[in-house]
């Protein structure tokens, strides 16, 4: 079987694409706003107007594109799909190097990890131990970012299989894996289905609870968590219900209107981050718009949402499987739907669990130094496993 060779990748938006984006932003047809609505009914239209004006008249995408191009980025065909990924190697390591694949979630892309790549590959440059250096691979999930949009939506099980092949293609037989949100789900299936290659996994969440057993078998903390998760779903989960059932309906508007795309995503960046209601405590306008512009230029909002539909069809028996690969969790204090330790132990072989004091659902972007330190500490014992071939 012929193996496609990775190719360096540095996309550049055309002037016509950027002119079209600005014209659409300036022509936004704004909704009316109930008095004093703020963020209570969704995205604050006042803030959205401010962001859209900045996007149209001040945001410098070529500068952001050039900054992203400083990362070593590639594309390769895996399973007939073009996969975009960052592949950054350890700088001057003083011991065994652990390869690590980092998987993002929704609504983002490899963007989630852009701040942590150098922290992980070159810890010495950031005041940390050079023995903790990683080789880092950060792919875009198919249908997100600069990876191909799959003709049929892929679920997390299928993407985990692609990642196992990707890591082999770029030269790693044994590696660690980490992720959050959908990336946590994909990382879970890497541990379940590819344990002969995965030495340990780290996750920043345990997903939403799925339990088909007798509720009496749950601990009080687990029952409380499930009630809290159900309440969160009732008040905050409308987006997920749409994305797993009727994603194409939403995609028609979001693909056509950059202001609509911004409203759909910005509300989640604010609600899920540790920002105390002020989104720009965690994300500058340039950072928000870099994420949004990737979505706009790649046309991936529809394909990214369709993954929710694919995951909704995963059989319950798959969701009930327990991870036996050594597992670590960093449950950041500002995240949503935070699981108790009892649930982590029920669903995985937990050897390490922490609750970092700050940071939310986008912890690698919100608190890159803290997140990088969590990974260094958790994966430290597994470097020798890879080095010994064990």
Catalytic residues: 181, 308, 361
Q: How many residues does the chain have?
A: 390
d(CA 245, CA 32): 28
* Contact of 147 with 140, CB cutoff 8 Å: yes
Which of 352, 294, 298, 345 lies closest to 322 in space, CA to CA?
A: 345
d(CA 254, CA 37): 22
Which of 263, 271, 270 lies closest to 292 in space, CA to CA?
A: 263
d(CA 138, CA 170): 12
Q: CB-based contacts of 84: which residues, under 8 Å, 6+ apart?
A: 9, 73, 74, 75, 110, 139, 140, 145, 146, 147
Residue 202 three-state SS: strand
> How many helices (H) and strands (E) would you count in the chain?
17, 9
d(CA 355, CA 334): 10
């Amino acid at each position: 079987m012929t193996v496609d060779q990775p190719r360096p990748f540095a996309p550049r938006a055309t002037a016509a694409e950027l002119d079209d984006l600005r014209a659409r932003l300036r022509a936004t047809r704004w909704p009316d706003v109930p008095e004093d609505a703020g963020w209570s009914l969704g995205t604050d239209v006042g803030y959205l107007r401010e962001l859209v004006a900045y996007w149209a008249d001040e945001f410098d995408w070529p500068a952001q594109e050039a900054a992203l191009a400083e990362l070593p980025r590639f594309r390769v065909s895996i399973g007939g799909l073009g996969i975009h990924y960052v592949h950054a190697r350890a700088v001057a390591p003083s011991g065994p190097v652990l390869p690590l694949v980092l998987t993002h979630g929704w609504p983002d892309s490899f963007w989630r990890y852009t701040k942590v790549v150098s922290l992980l590959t070159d810890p010495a440059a950031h005041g940390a131990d050079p023995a903790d250096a990683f080789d880092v691979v950060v792919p875009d999930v198919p249908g997100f970012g600069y990876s191909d949009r799959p003709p049929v939506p892929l679920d997390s099980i299928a993407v985990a299989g692609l990642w196992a092949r990707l890591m082999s293609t770029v030269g790693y037989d044994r590696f660690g894996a980490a992720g959050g949100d959908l990336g946590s789900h994909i990382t879970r299936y890497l541990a379940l289905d590819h344990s002969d290659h995965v030495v340990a996994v780290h996750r920043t969440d345990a997903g939403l609870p799925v339990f088909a057993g007798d509720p009496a078998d749950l601990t009080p903390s687990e029952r409380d968590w499930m009630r809290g998760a159900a309440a969160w779903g009732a008040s905050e989960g409308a987006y997920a219900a749409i994305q797993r059932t009727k994603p194409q309906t939403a995609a028609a508007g979001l693909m056509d209107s950059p202001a609509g795309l911004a409203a759909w995503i910005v509300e989640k960046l604010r609600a899920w981050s540790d920002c105390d209601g002020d989104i720009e405590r965690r994300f500058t306008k340039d950072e928000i718009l870099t994420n949004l512009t990737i979505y706009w230029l790649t046309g991936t909002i529809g394909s990214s949402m369709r993954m929710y539909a694919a995951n909704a069809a995963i059989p319950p028996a798959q969701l009930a499987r327990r991870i036996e690969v050594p597992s670590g969790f960093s449950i950041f204090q500002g995240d949503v739907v935070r699981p108790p330790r009892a649930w982590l132990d029920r669903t995985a072989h937990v050897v390490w669990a922490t609750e970092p004091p700050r940071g939310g659902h986008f912890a690698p972007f919100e608190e890159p130094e803290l997140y990088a330190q969590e990974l260094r500490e958790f994966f430290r014992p597994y470097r020798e496993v890879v080095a010994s071939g064990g």
